[in-house]
């Protein structure tokens, strides 16, 4: 009996020791994981800071590989030394990409004295990457916001053309066919940049599009929409010459017939119904802005119509010609097929909608500047879209973020 008890006592001591080792190992793993996570975060942050600084300084310091690497290294070294990660070796690789305005870097950690992880995680123990790019300083004439749609910017058949003078065309979709241009249709701008790829002949585009560009966040995402109250007008249908006045048009606004309709300056809220123009109608107005909100608040300008509109010079809609409510459902269609739409001065902003420009017409060429920011943009049937960026030629202000902002740098990885 005594021997049996002694055996049990010995077994208990062994078990206790094993439990103690298990607990110690568990604590070690927990401590290691905390250190590992903190170090990985610090490495990532220091590398991101370094590549951002390098891209920011490159236009001045040059894109020489040694110069770029020295800038990144100085930030990485200072941050990791500040974090007191002693005992580890850090290996840095920096790759300047001047033709794309980017700096890419990788940082490895080796030989850190972890309690337990070091026995299981061999070198490199941590690997982080970062990439930063200069976001174009070109003015925005076209920005397609959808992040994944094929043909987010599409120019169809019948010699459709889109010309953006002294301004850029930007497409955020990462689809390999984010830009689609049919044969003999043309796309021209000071810069063409897509986060994805393109489906077009190079001869039909000037210049050649840049691919894998940084996504441009919606520059108007923080723009406050106009406030409005109860309905001022309901189910308005205009079939004779008239002058309309600002207010809330509930149930939509329909203008139809061989008529001339003028708009008094101000803000027109189109609520819970469509805005339509047809039947050879002519619509004109200076310093007017349209806010489309609620169910069915789309627009359709038929090919027999004529429109000439300029955005407000001040107030909540300054520089905004057409503004879709951001709470609208996605992929609603807004169509401009007017035979004469050469004077559209201001910003057409459809954050959830698809803009269709159709028919053999001239679009916006007589305006000092026009910007289109929409979820998707489709043109077909032969329109000649001409977007200018001569902001100094008018007192209608360009919204902040649509005009050029030099020196913008963003992380792309």
Q: What is the CATH number of the domain that holds 108?
A: 3.10.450
Boundary (domain end) residue, out of 134, 169, 193: 134
* The two structure tokens encoding residue 371: 């910007």
Q: Are β-strands 384-387 and 161-164 bridged in parallel, bridged antiparallel, or unpaired?
A: parallel
Backbone φ, ψ for residue 42 (5° rounding): -65, -40
pLDDT less than 50: residues of the chain: 1-12, 16-19, 24, 28, 115
Q: Are residues 173 and 310 in the same domain?
A: yes
Cα distance between residue 369 and residue 279, in whole Å? 28
| Residues 121, 146 share a domain | no
Q: 387, 162 in Cβ contact below 8 A?
A: yes
Q: Is 404 in the same domain as 261? A: yes
> How much is the pLDDT for 124?
72
Asked whether the beta carbons of 156 and 123 are under 8 A apart, the reply is: no
pLDDT at 55 (0 to 100): 83
Asked if residue 171 and residue 130 are part of one domain, the reply reads: no
Quick check: is 102 in a domain?
A: yes
pLDDT at res. 390: 94
pLDDT at 12: 47
- The pLDDT assigned to 166 comes to 92
Which helix (H) or strand (E) element contains residue 89? Answer: strand 89-97
Range of the domain at 265: 140-411
Q: Is 223 helix (H, G, I), strand (E, B) or coil?
A: coil
Q: Judge if 100 and 169 occupy the same domain.
A: no
Q: How many domains does the chain have?
A: 2
- Whether residues 102 and 153 share a domain: the answer is no
Same domain for 190 and 283: yes
Q: The pTM is what?
A: 0.74
Q: Which two tokens stand for residue 224?
A: 């406050």
**Is position 44 within any domain?**
yes
Query: Which of 134, 154, 177 is a domain's end point?
Result: 134
Residues in CB range of 272: below 8 A, 6 or more apart: 250, 251, 252, 293, 294, 295, 296, 297
- From CA 182, how far away is CA 242, in angstroms rounded? 41
Q: How far apart are CA 314 and CA 396, in angstroms?
A: 8
Q: Last residue of some domain: 134, 154, 183? A: 134
Residue 260 counted as domain residue: yes
- Angle (CA) 126 128 130, round 5°: 170
């Amino acid at each position: 009996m005594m021997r049996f008890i002694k055996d049990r006592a010995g077994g208990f001591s062994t078990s206790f020791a094993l439990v103690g080792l298990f607990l110690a190992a568990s604590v070690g793993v927990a401590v290691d994981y905390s250190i590992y996570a903190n170090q990985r975060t610090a490495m990532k942050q220091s590398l991101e800071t370094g590549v951002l600084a390098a891209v920011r300084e490159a236009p001045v310091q040059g894109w020489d590989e040694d110069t770029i690497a020295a800038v990144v290294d100085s930030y990485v070294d200072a941050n990791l030394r500040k974090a007191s990660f002693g005992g580890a070796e850090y290996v840095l690789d920096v790759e300047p990409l001047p033709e794309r305005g980017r700096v890419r870097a990788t940082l490895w950690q080796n030989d850190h004295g972890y309690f337990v992880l070091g026995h299981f995680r061999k070198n490199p123990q941590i690997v982080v990457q970062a990439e930063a790019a200069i976001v174009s300083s070109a003015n925005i004439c076209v920005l397609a916001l959808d992040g994944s749609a094929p043909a987010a910017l599409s120019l169809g058949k019948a010699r459709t053309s889109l010309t953006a003078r002294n301004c850029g065309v930007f497409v955020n979709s990462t689809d390999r066919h984010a830009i689609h241009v049919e044969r003999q249709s043309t796309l021209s701008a000071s810069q063409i940049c897509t986060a994805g790829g393109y489906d077009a002949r190079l001869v039909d585009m000037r210049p050649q599009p840049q691919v894998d560009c940084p996504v441009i966040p919606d520059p108007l995402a923080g723009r406050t929409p106009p406030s409005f109250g109860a309905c001022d007008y309901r189910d308005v249908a205009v079939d004779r010459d008239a002058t309309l006045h600002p207010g809330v048009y509930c149930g939509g606004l329909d203008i139809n017939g061989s008529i001339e309709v003028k708009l008094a300056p101000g803000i027109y809220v189109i609520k819970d119904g469509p805005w339509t123009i047809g039947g050879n109608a002519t619509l004109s107005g200076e310093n007017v802005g349209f806010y489309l909100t609620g169910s069915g608040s789309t627009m359709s300008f038929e090919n027999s119509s004529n429109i000439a509109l300029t955005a407000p010079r001040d107030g909540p809609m300054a520089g905004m010609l057409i503004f879709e409510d951001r709470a609208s459902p996605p992929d609603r269609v807004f169509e401009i097929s007017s035979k004469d739409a050469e004077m559209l001065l201001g910003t057409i902003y459809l954050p959830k909608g698809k803009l269709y420009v159709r028919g053999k017409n001239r679009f916006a060429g007589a305006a000092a500047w026009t910007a289109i920011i929409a979820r998707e943009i489709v043109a077909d049937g032969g329109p000649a879209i001409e977007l200018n960026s001569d902001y100094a030629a008018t007192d209608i202000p360009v919204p902040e973020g649509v005009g050029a902002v030099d020196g913008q740098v963003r992380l792309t990885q």
